[in-house]
Every structure is written in structure tokens, then in C-alpha cells.
Chains A and B, each alone.
Chain A
Amino acid sequence: MLKIKNLHASVEGNEILKGIDLDIKPGEIHAIMGPNGSGKSSLASVLAGKEEYEVTEGSIEFEGKDLLDMDPEIRAREGIFLAFQYPVEIPGVSNIGFLKTAINDIREHRQLPPLTAKEFLQRTKERQKLVDFNSKLVNRSLNEGFSGGEKKRNEIFQLAMLEPKLAILDETDSGLDIDALRIVADGVNKIQSENNAFLIITHYQRLLEYIVPDIVHVLAGGKIVKSGTKELALELEEKGYDWLKEDALNKTV
């Protein structure tokens, strides 16, 4: 589904991603862990098509197409979804109205007819229950005045509504209490299927107790320095990241 090869990307002339290789297949859950500033959000931004990031080397293929060739909205319509680490507030724009526009734009791109009002309402109700999202928030302005946790949960609600092929969750767990975390994880597990894939960026292995990844990658200094099974997450929790940094350095020397 997603093939990243030797990806280098920079912001304002500073190279942040320094040669990333990643291969994600349908039905898989990948986790990315790593210290602050290692480039996790940058990777997510490059995948979503944020303008500030300049890809200087490498390629990204999504479902056989060149992702780097597409504008951000086309990537979204092709099936990439990013649950932001810091979701923005958009005053006055209704959460539900915006989702309707988004869904129908995505459907149009896939040559599907727009959802009828009834179908849309039905999907809203169903998905809101699925991820246990407060119905009052569904009708409010987009993230306006939401608490940090509510914003994160709204990202998961949107994920459920938009049915992407590849969902990238950027530290969705941070700022959530243990109950909210469990609810979010439950939601993801319900949405997860043979046809979609998840890339879960997290700082703690806590979330990975609920969403079990197939592969765990460690990102440090703009590179994937280690990949392994879910046990790697536990190891990281115990030992921290420093030993990996040294490892990585040793490798490059």
C-alpha cells in the first residue's frame, strides 16, 4: 500500500528526514516511536503533503501511484488520513458540515455519488457510537473551544467518518487520560480491517497495549534506526532511546 524509499526531506534548508525506508501493507499496523524532535511529525507531514517540507531525495508510492506528485487534498481523496498531533480550531465552521463536504469530495474523486442526507445522518450516528464521540460535539464548530482530549477524539471520529485506506495517528494518545485512551484504541480496533492500514506515532508503549502493532519502528535523528516486533516497544520503555542513538551512530561511523 505504502512504499517509502530513501526519503530525505528538509524544512527551511535543514534536513530533517535523512533516508527513510518503510513498507506498509494492507491490514498492517505499524508503530513509530522515537524521542522528541526525531522527525516523527515531519514524516507524517511529508506524507500528508505539507508545503513547507521539501523532499530532496527518495520516493513515496501509495497504491502504486506517486504520492509526491499529488496535492494534499488529492492524497486525502486517494485515502490518506492524518490525525494531527495539534488539531487546529476553525471557528464558525460546523464539524458536521465540514465532514459532509469532505466525504462528498472524496466520493466524487472515487466516482461515487454523494451521500444522501439520510445516508450521511445514518453514518454520523453509527460512527459516533462506534468511537463513542459526544453527540454534542458533532454539531459544534470544528474544534472551537474543545479540550485537548476532545480534539484528539474528534480526529478519531473524523477517521471513522472518512474511511481512509491509510490512517496516520500522530501522538493521538498524548493528552488523553487512561479511559479516553482505551476508548480511542477501541475505536481504532473496530475500524481496522484487512483493507486498511495504520501508522501509529507514539511516545509511549501505553497505547500499544491496546492497539497491537505488527511492527514497531524507532525513529531517531531522522532515520529508522531499528524495527522489530511489539516487544521492542517494551524494551524502549525500559531502556529509553539513548542506547539506540549510540547504535545508530556506530552504524554510520
Chain B
Amino acid sequence: MKSENEIIDDFTAREYEFGFVTDIEMDVLPPGLNEEVIHFLSAKKEEPQWLLDWRLKSYEAFKRQKMPKWQNFEAPDVDFQDISYYAAPKDKPKYESLDEVDPELLETFEKLGIPLNEQKALAGVAVDAVFDSVSIGTTYKDELRKLGIIFCSMSEAVKEHPELVKKYLGTVVPPNDNIYASLNSAVFSDGSFVYIPEGVRCPMELSTYFRINSQNTGQFERTLIVAEKGSYVSYLEGCTAPRRDENQLHAAVVELIAMEDAEIKYSTVQNWFPGDNEGKGGIYNFVTKRGICKGNNSKISWTQVETGSSITWKYPSVILKGDNSSGEFYSVAVTKNHQIADTGTKMNHIGKNTKSRIISKGISAGKSQNSYRGLVQIGNRAQNARNFTQCDSLLIGNKCGAHTFPYIESKNKSAMLEHEATTSKIGEDQIFYLNQRGIDPEQAVALIVNGYAKEVLNQLPMEFAVEARKLLSLTLEGSVG
């Protein structure tokens, strides 16, 4: 192993020598962001020139961007020069056996009912031969390949399907969209790529779960899903197990493209480390997620269960371009201790007879702050557009905050917009009622919260929903007292 100084020396030395286009053996870049860094990581990933150019252009955009000021929390100072932008995928497991893993983490795995081998994979323990993730992966891949479905890492897609990536990358979230999208476009590490050919209905839920131990996709994840005419896909991101990460800032970009009659369902369970009880050390999750219903009669549906991170800042959105297209957003965001969530959606109605539906359920406990922020835009061509928005807030205790910021911009008089909002507290009398039937207070809260979030949880694929339910209960353990 080289010392840090040697690495830095190597790095700076080479800068003069080769200008970063050569193959370098370094595993980790020292912190810092500049053009050379982008040259370096693109070279490391053996990317084509067009992608390097695209990254560089994104970096130019990034430099011009300013931090947004409209959010309902004090944005933390992120020092972009203090982050390392390349780390080689780690093959080496962090631990030799589960005995070395934090028992608290294992206890949580246990409560969530995660199988032993998956626990190992998640905690970063060397996985034994029984759990052959490669073979699981290949079985699925074979079946998918027969249907012409592409499901692989973004790096692989750049190599194997450059024409598709080039055609769609950055078309929904342009590199200059916002500062974190620019940053992601400049330095994205890896992510998933999905392509569903015309008329194909993907027979299984595609899940990053299967790729968990194949590589560390890192903090700047990039995902692109294209559904061709008449196709269908359901995609699952994340998992319910608590995930720790040394990287504080996570700035992912997800782009969805649905052609005529196509449907994309995207479900997320986000459970990044929320920080300790004081809110220290948690992850900043600043994600840009957007889909476009490009063709007529297409549909995009986002479902999210957000329980982790110290700050969650994201608005999965849909551009409803095709006539009769529809967009949905179902969200449960839970905050406790000092967590902050500022999340919601944007529904941009462009085509005729477009429909959108927004169901947001915020749950705040402890000293947390939970905001719903939504924008419904009706363009002048969007004849007969409809939106239904319901945002509910549930408060546990009286030190937390719930806020809603619904915005509407309508340029078409035929639009029909409905908005409902409620704020409620978990009633002592509700808890007492359940206690009186033999159910303890923790379980009572879990039942009430799950009941409250039911409409959203019902949108999740079956197995995921079961896990998400348990996760909600676990997250709020100890919040009532």
C-alpha cells in the first residue's frame, strides 16, 4: 500500500507528465475537483470521447451553478473540493465474518427478517459459496436477454450499448438542471441501465438488490431507464436494511423515459444512515429524479418510502408530454430525531388529457422537520388536464414540524385540480384503545403509522411492502414515550 503522500505525489507528478489521459494504477483519488479529475476518472473507466466531453461540459455547468435558496432548511456547507471523486470498486470484503460486524446492525437485520447471506453482503462480509450472487445474476440475465431486455450497470452499458446511452443520457435531467445534477453528470461513478424493447412486459421486478455486492456504486449514482413503445417495467431501488456509508454527500440522478403506451413503475426504499440521535454523521441525500411520458398513453409512477438520511432533498417528477399520459407520486417520508426531509414532486402537464396523482404522507417524530413541496404545472396546450393531490402529515410528539408547500401554475382553464391536506397527531386515545386490547405502545404506534401510510405502501410490490412495513415500525421504535 502506498502512503497518502505518495499517492498525492504520484497524482500531481503525472499531471505534468501525461495530462491524465493515461492508465494510472491508483485506487483512490485525493480529494478535489477539477478538469483533470474528470479526465482521470473517465480514462479509468475507459470511456469514449463523447462521454468525456459530456462530463466536461457538465463540469462547466457545475461551475456556473449556485446553491438553491428556496428549501425549507439550512443547506449544509458542502465543500466540493473536500470529496474524493474516484475510488476503484472494492473487491475486498470489509470483514471476514459476521462476528466482526456491529451487533446493533445485525439486530436490525434480524428484525427485518433479512436472510443470513444477504445480511453478509449488506454488511460487507465475505460471502461464502452458498450465496452465489453471480449465478443468481446470470440466471436472471439469461431470462431477460431472451426478451431483449438490457439490465446492467451504467459502466457496462456505456461499453456494450453506447448508442442507447448516448441517445438518452441527460435528455430528462439536463446537465445544467441544478447544481447537484451538474455535479453528478460531471463525476457520476456508476448506476443502473435498463432498456425494455417494444411490446415487452418485463416479467420480474428489476432490483438493484441483485447487484449489491457486485460493486460499490458510490455516492454519485446514475440510473437510466428506457421503456419502448407498449412495454412495461417495475424497478426497485434500495433496500430496507440500514446502509452506512463513509460518504456524506449522495447526489444521484435518475432518468426515466416512457414511449407510447409504455409504463414505468419506480419504487424506492431509502434507509441511509440518518446520523446519531444528535443528527451527527448522517447522509445528505440530494437526488434528482425525473421521468418523461414521451409517448401518448404512457405512464410513470414513483413510489418512495424515505426513512433514512440526515437530510433528504428530492422531488421525483414527471413530464407529461404525450397526450393521455399519466404520472403518479406516492410517498411516505419519516423523520425523527434531527432528521430533515424536504421532498415532493413536480407534475408538468404538457399533453392533452394528462393526469397526475400525488399522495404524500409525512410522518414526523422527535425534533425533526418534514416538508412536502409540490408543483403542478398545466401548460397552455394541456387541454383537460387533471391533478389530484393529497398531502397528509402525521405528528408524533410536539417538538417536530410538518410543512406543506403546494404550488400550482395553470395556463389552461380546462384544468381540474383537486387538493386535500390534513395534519393529525397520533392520538393518545388511539394508542390507549389498542393498549386496552392487549397491544403494547410500540406496536400500537407501528399499527397506526402503517395504517396511515397504507395507500402508499399498497403501491409497492408485495415483498417490498412487507419489508417496508417492518421498516416503518422499526424506524419509529422509541419515538413514543
Which of A87, A90, A93, A109 interacts with B438 by CB under 8 Å?
A109
Cβ of B450: which chain A residues have Cβ within 8 Å of it? Answer: 92-93
Tell me the chain A residues, 62-87 only, with Cβ under 8 Å from chain B.
71-73, 75-77, 81-82, 84, 87
A102 within 8 A of B: yes
Do the beta carbons of A105 and B430 come within 8 Å of each other?
Answer: no
Chain B, residues 423-448, CB within 8 Å of chain A (1/0): the string is 00001111011111111110100011
Interface segment among B16-24, B333-341, B451-459: the answer is B451-459
If the complex has contacts A50-B432, A90-B430, A98-B434, are A73 and B439 also in contact, measured as CB distance less than 8 A?
A: yes
What are the 4 tightest A-B residue pairs by CB atom distance, in nearest-first order? A92-B451, A93-B451, A72-B435, A76-B438
B443 closest partner in A (C-beta): A101
- A190 CB to closest chain B CB, in angstroms? 21
Cβ of B429: which chain A residues have Cβ within 8 Å of it? Answer: 88
Do the beta carbons of A162 and B438 come within 8 Å of each other?
Answer: yes
Q: What are 6 contact pairs spanning A and B, CB under 8 A?
A: A50-B432, A76-B436, A88-B430, A98-B437, A105-B439, A106-B438
The dominant DSSP class at the B interface is: helix
Cβ of A71: which chain B residues have Cβ within 8 Å of it? Answer: 435, 440
Residues of B within 8 A of A (CB): 427-430, 432-441, 443, 447-448, 450-455
A105–B440 alpha-carbon span in the complex (Å): 9
Cβ of B430: which chain A residues have Cβ within 8 Å of it? Answer: 88, 90
Do the beta carbons of B437 and A162 come within 8 Å of each other?
Answer: yes
Do the beta carbons of B437 and A158 come within 8 Å of each other?
Answer: yes
Cβ of A82: which chain B residues have Cβ within 8 Å of it? Answer: 436
A156 within 8 A of B: no
A91 within 8 A of B: yes
Do the beta carbons of B453 and A92 come within 8 Å of each other?
Answer: yes
Cβ of A50: which chain B residues have Cβ within 8 Å of it? Answer: 432
Do the beta carbons of B435 and A88 come within 8 Å of each other?
Answer: no
Do the beta carbons of A77 and B436 come within 8 Å of each other?
Answer: no
A141 within 8 A of B: yes
Cβ of A184: which chain B residues have Cβ within 8 Å of it? Answer: none
A168 closest partner in B (C-beta): B436
Do the beta carbons of B448 and A76 come within 8 Å of each other?
Answer: no
Do the beta carbons of A91 and B438 come within 8 Å of each other?
Answer: no
Cβ of B439: which chain A residues have Cβ within 8 Å of it? Answer: 73, 98, 101-102, 105
Which of A48, A81, A93 interacts with B447 by CB under 8 Å?
A93
- B459 CB to closest chain A CB, in angstroms? 14
A103–B436 alpha-carbon span in the complex (Å): 12
A91–B428 alpha-carbon span in the complex (Å): 15
A88–B428 alpha-carbon span in the complex (Å): 10
Do the beta carbons of A73 and B435 come within 8 Å of each other?
Answer: yes
Do the beta carbons of A92 and B438 come within 8 Å of each other?
Answer: no
- B469 CB to closest chain A CB, in angstroms? 11
- B153 CB to closest chain A CB, in angstroms? 38
A28–B347 alpha-carbon span in the complex (Å): 64
If the complex has contacts A90-B447, A90-B448, A98-B447, are A73 and B433 also in contact, measured as CB distance less than 8 A?
A: no
Tally of A-B Cβ pairs under 8 angstroms: 77
If the complex has contacts A90-B430, A93-B447, are A102 and B438 also in contact, measured as CB distance less than 8 A?
A: yes
If the complex has contacts A90-B451, A91-B452, are A77 and B432 also in contact, measured as CB distance less than 8 A?
A: no
If the complex has contacts A105-B439, A105-B440, are A90 and B432 also in contact, measured as CB distance less than 8 A?
A: no
Do the beta carbons of B448 and A105 come within 8 Å of each other?
Answer: no
Cβ of A77: which chain B residues have Cβ within 8 Å of it? Answer: 438
Do the beta carbons of A73 and B438 come within 8 Å of each other?
Answer: yes
A198–B435 alpha-carbon span in the complex (Å): 20
Cβ of B447: which chain A residues have Cβ within 8 Å of it? Answer: 90, 93, 98, 101
- A153 CB to closest chain B CB, in angstroms? 16
Cβ of B451: which chain A residues have Cβ within 8 Å of it? Answer: 90-94, 141-142
Do the beta carbons of B437 and A92 come within 8 Å of each other?
Answer: no
Q: Which of B432, B437, B454 has the most CB of A within 10 A?
A: B437
Cβ of B435: which chain A residues have Cβ within 8 Å of it? Answer: 49, 71-73, 76
A71–B450 alpha-carbon span in the complex (Å): 24
Tell me the chain A residues, 166-187 only, with Cβ under 8 Å from chain B.
none
Do the beta carbons of A92 and B454 come within 8 Å of each other?
Answer: yes
If the complex has contacts A101-B447, A141-B451, are A90 and B434 also in contact, measured as CB distance less than 8 A?
A: yes
A89 closest partner in B (C-beta): B430
Cβ of A73: which chain B residues have Cβ within 8 Å of it? Answer: 435-436, 438-441
A49–B434 alpha-carbon span in the complex (Å): 12
Q: Which of B429, B430, B433, B441 has the most CB of A within 10 A?
A: B433
A49–B453 alpha-carbon span in the complex (Å): 29
If the complex has contacts A91-B451, A92-B451, A101-B443, are A84 and B437 also in contact, measured as CB distance less than 8 A?
A: no
- B368 CB to closest chain A CB, in angstroms? 22
- A70 CB to closest chain B CB, in angstroms? 11
B458 closest partner in A (C-beta): A92
- A59 CB to closest chain B CB, in angstroms? 21
Q: Which of A49, A50, A72 has the most CB of B within 10 A?
A: A72
A76–B454 alpha-carbon span in the complex (Å): 27
A142–B433 alpha-carbon span in the complex (Å): 11
A68–B428 alpha-carbon span in the complex (Å): 20
If the complex has contacts A93-B447, A93-B448, A101-B443, are A88 and B427 also in contact, measured as CB distance less than 8 A?
A: yes
B427 closest partner in A (C-beta): A88
A106–B435 alpha-carbon span in the complex (Å): 11
Cβ of B428: which chain A residues have Cβ within 8 Å of it? Answer: 51
Chain A, residues 38-68, CB within 8 Å of chain B (1/0): the string is 0000000000111100000000000000000
B441 closest partner in A (C-beta): A73
A49–B443 alpha-carbon span in the complex (Å): 18
A71–B442 alpha-carbon span in the complex (Å): 13
A142–B450 alpha-carbon span in the complex (Å): 13
Cβ of A76: which chain B residues have Cβ within 8 Å of it? Answer: 435-438
